Amino acid sequence: MAPDAASISAAYDALDAAYDTVAALTYDTLDIKDTLGCLSRLERLRRRMPATEHHLLAHAQTLTTPTAIGAKSWADVLAIRLRISGTEATRRVKEAEDLGPRTALTGAPLPPRLPETAAAQARGDINTEHVAIIRKCLKKAAKYIDTAARAEIDHDLARAAATNSPETLRDAAKLLVYLFNQDGDLPDDEHRARRRELKLGRQDADGLTQISGRLTPELAATIQALFAKLGAPGMCNPHDETPTIDGEPGDDTIDRDDRTLGQRQHDALTAICRNTLSSGELGQHNGLPVTVVVSTTLQDLHAAAGVAVTGSGSLLPISDLIRMASHAHHYLVIYDKHTREPLYLGRTKRIASPGQRLVLFNRDRGCTRPGCTAPFDHSQAHHAAQDFGKGGQTNITDLGLACGPDNRLVKDNGWTTQIRSDGRIEWIPPPLLDTGQDRINHHHHPDELLRPPDEQPPEDRDEDHPPAA
């Protein structure tokens, strides 16, 4: 007979109490053997915890759907409830799909997809690194193996992981993939198309961003042709008073060009992207012409110091902004002196105007739902004070930014939004996702987390803006 909710709660209370007892211990009397023994026992407990989490996730998915409780996905549920990153939440959900219990359409219980790995984790024999290596190996080998071979790999790698380090297991996993595919992949169009990618990494503290990827032969040939012209010595040199873009550079221009090949190609890409943006042929994105949108303060512009924020969430040094602004159109947004409340920019239509979107960018910078990392480029104008279908106005004082998936979470019995007296958008979560978290999104305003409490903006509600749903 399955335990009831009270019995399960009592077991968790006992677990909390047991850990409180362990956490209060001192270890002055232990020798090195006993000390290492305690570390080993803690490690085994840490390894076993995910197995219980897999069971809870599997059970949760039989009870409801993420959207029914106000989330976009099960990973979103975990990220909100547990205050973990979206990446970590996704990893846990995917791991639970492979190692957690399953149920057939008939309701009959099914074993995990990787039963040997799941059992080893439940015993505490392997850790999350081992699990990640085994799952990655099976993903790589999936198109070369059948069900029997998959079970064999699960068994062999789980057994090896129980007595070896993740580094050693990784070598064994690589060998297994090779043995099942000794001839290698044929370099066909489908293979190349599947592996093509180009990614911008996170911005480093010095402002630089790494780029990585795999280019198709077509794109590589296209870029090489452009670099041959615009990345040649003397071309597109930002240190020249008038950089050479068209024609051929003079001998003096070439001689004083001391940039490396990598630097020349970087500057060539800058020129290519700038010319593409200024062509006006890219249409619109989220209601604005495709361009670089930047938010800064008048004080920073006067001082020619500090950083601005772009619509994609990157930080841009003011010196770079001033250089970019020399060939740009400008907008001026006026705010109340002591708040982020825009003085006025109204509209009678449902869709926000380009001017209103610029104001929202400068105030919100990105999606306003707490914890969401979507920048302005991936956000929409959201009727934060009251839904347009319920009489809400498309005035700038009634709008806020929200990414598409979060915008759709605002509904009856779901998330609600309201506007504070300082102009910031508050999101009130549905009951099952309410952990007492902050109601405003600090991701796009990290400076707010560094202010002393007495310098924080007011949190009183604006009586003219009841919650929107």
Tokens, residue 139: 């993903």
Per-residue pLDDT in tens (0 to 9) along the chain, 469 residues: 789 999 999 999 999 999 999 999 999 999 999 999 999 999 999 999 999 999 999 999 999 999 999 999 999 999 999 999 999 999 999 999 999 999 888 888 899 999 999 999 999 999 999 999 999 999 989 888 899 999 999 999 999 999 999 999 999 999 988 888 776 655 577 878 888 999 999 888 888 999 999 999 999 999 999 999 999 999 999 888 888 988 899 998 999 999 999 999 999 999 998 888 777 777 766 655 556 777 777 677 667 677 888 878 888 888 777 677 655 555 545 455 445 545 444 444 555 677 777 788 888 999 999 999 999 888 988 998 887 767 777 787 888 999 999 999 998 778 999 999 888 899 999 999 999 999 999 999 888 888 766 555 555 544 454 566 5
Q: What is the pTM for the complete model shown?
A: 0.71
3-state secondary structure of 203: strand
Q: Which residues pair with 200 in a beta bridge?
A: 211
DSSP 349-383: SSSPPHHHHHHHHHHH-B--STT---BGGGEEEEE
Task: Give the CB-side neighbour count of residue 435, counting CA atoms within 13 A.
Answer: 12
Q: Check residue 46 and report its DSSP letter.
A: H
Q: Are 176 and 153 in contact (CB under 8 A)?
A: yes
Residue 244: which of 270, 252, 253, 278 has the closest Cα? 253
CA–CA distance, 236 with 226 (Å, rounded to integer) = 12
